[in-house]
Chains A and B, each alone.
Chain A
Amino acid sequence: MYLKAGNNQLLFKYHSIAQYHQDLLTGTTSCVEAVQHYLQQIDARRHLNAYVNTYGGEALKRAAELDASRKAGKPTGKLHGVVIALKDVIAYKDHPLTAASKILEGFNPVFNATAVDRLLAEEAIIIGHTNCDEFAMGSTNENSSYGKVLNALDETRVPGGSSGGSAVAVQAGLCMVSLGSDTGGSVRQPADFCGVVGLKPTYGRISRHGLIAYASSFDQIGIFAANVPDVALVLEVIAGPDDFDSTGALQPVDAYSNLTPLPAKPLRIAYFKEALESPALDNEIRQSILEFAAKLQADGHTVAPVEFEYLDFIVPAYYILTTAEASSNLSRYDGVKYGHRNLAKNNSLTDFYCATRSEGFGWEVKRRIMLGTFVLSAGYYDAYFTKAQQVRKLLVDKINLIFSQFDTILLPTAPSTAFRIGEKTEDPISMYLADIFTVFSNLTGIPTISIPLFWHSNGMPYGVQIMTNQFSELYLLQLSQLWMQQFRHAG
């Protein structure tokens, strides 16, 4: 499996963490070999622009140390030698962190995100930071100060966003697994566009300490991988309470990696009728979801449509609340303490702030700061912010009601397959509306995964979202694993 080719290139093939660990134990491969392989691949596919920084030297050094330690018979960590990429919004001590924004140029965090600490403690190897939309704001990865990321399956298409780089890094085999962040679909939608698995856990399941905030009450670190067991193992390592994040959940962490098959009993599966009837939804996608539902029904499960009368409110509510929080979260980038600073002689403090922030932020970020400032301002607060909070409350009530009657909800991940590059940049409203199926999970906090079950006639992959109740990640992953095995169409 790891033969050397004629040009002496390593033919490292990655399937899963479990397989890799077995190969390490039998000596078929080594951590160094794995890291070398990924560094070569990253180099060969630099034009995809998936990474903004790679840490090759230190990754190799760490790989060698891990190899030595393993060979010396020392116990190995759960993620021993697993090569992982981080979205450029997750802090890795003494490594650049910019959120793909000019305003954070030159910034090096002085601490690790809790998720990173936990990865490292289980002997993972961080290979680099991946590209993304600036401050995780975007659905195409076109809003990055490092330039756009290309979809490896069709380079005229976007990878989705905002965690586009992390999705492509897994899609194109530039790492084993990657972390992203999901505020309104930023893990699930690029996973869908790139044909990989993307999980957004329950809000609070993974500490946000060290995750650059976009919208605090929505943000959650998510995981990309080629398969469900890899996602499960990484989640098991990084989930759990953290003293640094008081919004983190105190629920105990299940052994997510123990994906025992679900007992064969009929499931109660819901789908949103209005969502599948939405005119914005691509016809092929609609058809395959309906066929999928029909197969499940044929297998003896209950599949039923539920009324979802709030569909038209969720995108507006999402954009009002997230931009409101963002406008405040991004106030700290003012050029005073770190990051970009306008050095001209400014007449006043206000001039200084304006110059610094005008230069530092890109258009999409500015648009959202303005929107958020507007919806919180006196005179508009009740009409927008308060109303959106009420919608959010209704949605939470609705989800509780649904999960009192159903085990899971099925929903398309995106209304279409990956957009063409530039297709949506001139029309932010239509871009925002494309988030219609993903923002629901962030508004309500429930865990949701996108699994790549289907292929479109246009040659692109797409998936389906599976949603379950709060903190039922183990069940969600078991279900995903089952359906990936049963229903995944070969590409």
Chain B
Amino acid sequence: MSINYDEYEIVVGLEVHAQLLTNSKLFCGDSAAFGGDPNTHISPITLAHPGTLPKLNKKAITYAVKIGLACNCSITRHNYFARKNYFYPDLPKGYQLSQHTTPVCQGGFVTIRTQEGTRDIRLNRIHMEEDAGKSLHDVDPNNTCVDYNRAGVPLVEIVTEPDIHSGDEAYAYLTELRKLLRYLEICDGNMEEGSMRCDANISVRKKGDTKLGTKVEVKNLNSIRNVKRAIEFESKRLIDILESGEKVIQQTRSFDAGNGTTFALRTKEDANDYRYFADPDLTPFVVTDELLHEVRASIPALPEERVVRYTQELQLPDYDARVITDEKELAVYFEQIIEHTKNYKAAANWMLGPVKSWLNETGGSITAFPVPPATIAALIALIDSNQVNFSVASTKLFAALLKEPGKQPLQLAKELNLLQDSDEGNVAAWIEEVLNKMPDKVAEYKKGKKGLIGLFVGEVKKVSKGKADPKLTNDILLKKLQ
């Protein structure tokens, strides 16, 4: 008997841990940079030496408030950190400082777009906590080693409501969330390096049921694609269990990216009693009106806002607007071009065409792109004034500019003899030369084979080395061939 998977609804909640891009750790001055030789970003405070005390990094608060405001959350004014007590070698103090009862951001949502349209994924909370160190099991054959560089690095944990119903939605949500984190420059969103990590709480229920099914938590999802794969695999597995008449056990599972399956790590019985209580070594902190205003003012225009502006004010197609706003730096570059030109569509075409190709070929980012935005605007002006045609501009002139990005396009076009010739005499002479070379074709044209006009235009382009003004060429040709 075949299983009808469509009878089931998949219910997913995601917990994303994002490492904040602060210079120092959440509770001390040690570097919070990724990597470094093992145990080089440490001090007595990171190592929880006796007598050390935490001191809150104010920058981390502003970052957490930033993502909260960007996700439409309400901001908690009176906050404190609680101790989450458990033993593990990578946890130097024997407790993790985390905003258990007073998450700095509550509620809110992230808007996603899938093939089914636009939808808001509701957030439960965003709270701050410190990261743990890393246990290294492959350094020494007989011992586990611990690297405390990461211990104490600030994280925000962004928790959704069980609002996601497919792998595709999870994919869209994570893509959107990562875009926001990067726009705000508070997390680099690199899932492979672990600066953004995701756990998925997955359950299934018959469509129409209101009660949530028993959930499993899937960990070790090191890419957005793997989150989608894990949800697709795991939801199918859960449906298969239910269809076979068995019950789902609440457990934590790990995703194996190699074969796309999950396996059990531990069941709920092993759950810790974390004995949370407010950390007496820290005083409560207050998000003041001033801080809130300051953070709000520092938030750049977010992707959605820019898309609206591009499509409505600038009349760009939705597709163009979305590609350009995919990364803040691209959008910023685009906006710098249109400070110098009113031809917005042409600017978008340059972004989506030659500029994107360069990014793809070099694998570099727009910040490394050598040609200044004003120069792209100057190129657009050259084309619009018929001095250079687009194909010459986007190939020869663009390539030359990449080599000499400091030069002005007009200057360079002159040097390379790429300027279009709009002198009627010159164009007529080139036409004459072409028509004289191929009297048969001219005869055929005159007999009615009007499609040959393209051949003549091409030949004129060739003999003029691309300089003949195409429109003028066309006009004169038509006259001469009458």
Contacts and interface: CB of A to CB of B under 8 A. Distances in A.
B50 A328 contact: no
A328 B275 contact: yes
Interface of A: 89-91, 97, 99, 104, 107, 109-111, 113, 208-213, 215-217, 243-247, 324-325, 327-328, 330-332, 334, 336-338, 349, 353, 373, 376-378, 381, 385
Given A328-B85, A353-B87, A246 B50 contact: no
Contacts of A209: 51-53
A104 to B, nearest CB: 7
A332 B92 contact: yes
13 contacts: A97-B50, A109-B51, A110-B49, A111-B44, A208-B51, A210-B51, A246-B53, A324-B277, A325-B277, A331-B93, A338-B47, A376-B277, A385-B277
Contacts of A213: 50-51, 281
Contacts of B48: 332, 337
B135 to A, nearest CB: 10
A328 B95 contact: yes
A84 to B, nearest CB: 18
B53 A245 contact: yes
B51 to A, nearest CB: 4
A302 to B, nearest CB: 37
B458 interface: no
Interface of B: 44, 47-56, 83, 85, 87-89, 92-95, 146, 273, 275, 277, 279-283
Nearest to A107: B50
A97 B146 CA distance: 24
- Chain B binding surface SS class: loop
Contact of B53 (A107, A110, A244, A373): A244
A107 B93 CA distance: 16
Nearest to B45: A244
A412 B73 CA distance: 54
A378 B273 contact: yes
Contacts of B281: 213, 216, 246-247
Contacts of A208: 51, 53
Nearest to B282: A246
Contacts, number: 97
A333 to B, nearest CB: 8
A91 B282 contact: no
Contacts of A246: 53-56, 281-283
A209 to B, nearest CB: 6
Contacts of A109: 44, 49-51
Nearest to A385: B277
Contact of B50 (A99, A244, A353): A99
Contacts of B56: 246
B55 A91 contact: no
Contact of A332 (B53, B94, B283): B94
Contacts of B275: 327-328, 373, 376-377, 381
A333 B93 CA distance: 8
B150 to A, nearest CB: 15
- Chain A binding surface SS class: loop
Q: Which of A91, A210, A336, A378 has the most CB of B within 10 A?
A: A336
In the A-B complex, list the 4 residue pairs whose CB atoms are closest, starting with the nearest. Answer: A331-B94, A217-B280, A216-B280, A376-B275
B282 A247 contact: yes
B171 to A, nearest CB: 36
A376 B280 CA distance: 14
A377 B92 CA distance: 21
A325 B316 CA distance: 61
Contacts of A104: 50
Given A244-B53, A328-B85, A337 B92 contact: yes
Nearest to A217: B280
Contacts of B94: 328, 330-332, 334
Contacts of A215: 280
A110 B50 contact: no
Contacts of A216: 279-281
A215 B277 CA distance: 13
B83 A328 contact: yes
A403 B466 CA distance: 96
Given A111-B44, A247-B53, A327-B275, 11 more contacts: A104-B50, A111-B49, A208-B53, A212-B50, A217-B280, A247-B281, A328-B277, A331-B87, A334-B87, A334-B89, A376-B85
B270 to A, nearest CB: 11
Nearest to B86: A331
A381 B273 CA distance: 11
A111 B52 CA distance: 10
A39 B146 CA distance: 43
A355 B95 CA distance: 20
Contacts of B273: 377-378
A342 to B, nearest CB: 14
A353 B89 CA distance: 10
Nearest to B48: A332
Contacts of A91: 50-51
Contacts of A378: 273
Nearest to A336: B89
Contacts of B277: 324-325, 328, 376, 385
A321 to B, nearest CB: 9
Q: Which of B85, B89, B94 has the most CB of A within 10 A?
A: B94
A109 B55 CA distance: 19
B146 A332 contact: no
Contacts of B51: 89-91, 97, 109, 113, 208-213
Q: Which of B47, B49, B89 has the most CB of A within 10 A?
A: B49
Q: Which of B48, B53, B56, B283 has the most CB of A within 10 A?
A: B53
A377 B273 CA distance: 7
B134 to A, nearest CB: 13
A376 B88 CA distance: 19
Q: Which of A209, A328, A330, A381 has the most CB of B within 10 A?
A: A328
A337 B93 CA distance: 10
A330 to B, nearest CB: 8
Nearest to A379: B273
A68 to B, nearest CB: 33
Contacts of A325: 277, 280
A247 B87 CA distance: 25
A332 B50 contact: yes
A113 B146 CA distance: 27
A147 B275 CA distance: 33
Nearest to B83: A328
A110 B44 CA distance: 8
